[in-house]
Amino acid sequence: DEAIQISDMAHQMGVKASRLIRTLWGMGMRNITINNAVDVETAELVAAEFGYTIENVSFQEDEFIGAYEDEGELRAPVVTIMGHVDHGKTTLLDHIRKSQVAGGEAGGITQHIGAYRVETDQGPVVFIDTPGHEAFGAMRSRGAAVTDIVVLIVAADDGVMPTTREAIAHAKEAEVPIVVAINKIDKPDSNVGRVEQMLMKEGLVGEKFGGETTIAHISAKTGEGVNELLESLAVQAEVLELRAPVEGPAAGTVIESRVDKGRGTVATVLVQAGELHKGDIVVANEFSGKVRGLYTPAGKKVKNALPSTPVELLGLDGAPPAGERFHVVDSEKDARQIVSHRREQRRRKESVLSGPSLLERIKSKK
């Protein structure tokens, strides 16, 4: 949905903007002014009146994520936990995070973070802390394909609920494999068999019933079965053969960002391709900057980050929204150019008048 500014168009065709506007008025677009933009269809019709055709020669940004899946080195899976409210998403994430923070990164400052990476005996696994499918949906609507595996958590004392079904639908639509975690097995009223029957009705048939779905039995509270769950995620990743190029400029997705009084913009990003270094020039949405510092989610300073690594990035000149892509560019000049192009594109979109396009108007007249 490109848009063309009236003033630009007049300039390009070498006609006065007022003439162009009068022509548009004559064609029925009564409320257009020099401050507006028109959609491409409208621009084509008007240009034809002046004997011109419209050609798209605009600056095109590279599609830099999504094309890499079969290339490069094996990488850790990125996992999102989904499920019905109170089935234990937060408890499970907390359990995984605590055991890891206590074990590996003592001395680090633990704070609220949007993503973290844990080491299992079978390999590393990355968790994105966006519990709930709204966040999953928001990310996806921005075009961010971050999740490789969904962990569907189902409470053993409650079973499949409406939100469980929605989560299954979301995962299927995104073509993301599901690993089931039946949670709260420590509770006396838990009934794993009943839940497995319910899951079967949703098309999730466990391996022990001849199906293909990995179903782990866990207690997020006591930690029972959690290691097995983590290991099955690492195994699933091996099956998926997740890969990413480790060389070249980094690219990835913003998980969350905020402006901190002392540290400036702190963006938690997931590196998905290439290697991110301190000192790199990064562009994300309409923001850019030189990477001043990189930290693990536990607060440890690092010099670089490879694919499937979440890091806190300091140095952006503003906070890009979650789900936006980031990428490294060659120079500050390139960064400025991309940012100003994006701002321009947004302004143009914002200045397009709402209502039917000229083509729609003409069609409806007939």
Where are the strands (E) in 167-238, listed by range?
A: 178-183, 215-217
Encoded tokens for 215: 């179903």
Report CA torsion sign: 129, 134, 137, 138.
negative
What is the spatial distance between Cα 22 and Cα 267, in angstroms, rounded to a whole number? 48
Helices H / strands E in the chain, number of each? 10, 20
Q: How far is the CB of 88 from Mg ion (least distance, A)?
A: 8
Q: Which residue from 58, 90, 111, 340 is in contact with Mg ion, where contact means CB under 5 A?
A: 90
Is 85 one of the binding residues for ligand GDP (CB under 6 A)? yes
Closest to 296 (Cα-Cα) out of 276, 315, 278, 311: 311
Is 187 one of the binding residues for ligand GDP (CB under 6 A)? yes
Angle at 212 between CA 132 and CA 147, to 5 degrees: 30
Q: Which residue from 7, 12, 23, 91 is in contact with ligand GDP, where contact means CB under 6 A?
A: 91
Number of shown-chain residues binding Mg ion (CB under 5 A) = 2
Number of shown-chain residues binding ligand GDP (CB under 6 A) = 16
Q: Which stretch binds Mg ion (CB under 5 A): 27-35, 83-91, 192-200, 204-212?
A: 83-91
Q: Which residue from 5, 100, 183, 308 is in contact with ligand GDP, where contact means CB under 6 A?
A: 183
Question: What is the number of other CB atoms lying within 10 angstroms of the CB of residue 298?
Answer: 20
Q: Which stretch binds ligand GDP (CB under 6 A): 48-56, 121-129, 203-211, 213-221?
A: 213-221
- Known binding residues for GTP are 83-90, 129-133, 183-186
186 binding partner (options ligand GDP, Mg ion, none; Cβ < 5 to 8 Å by kind): ligand GDP
Burial class (CB within 10 angstroms; exposed 0-12, middle 13-18, buried 19+) of 12: middle
What 3-state DSSP class applies to 166?
helix
Kindly tell me which of 100 and 130 has the beta carbon lying closer to Mg ion.
130
Kindly tell me which of 153 and 306 has the beta carbon lying closer to ligand GDP.
153
Contact residues: ligand GDP, CB under 6 A: 83, 85-91, 131, 183-184, 186-187, 219-221
The footprint of Mg ion (CB under 5 A) covers 89-90
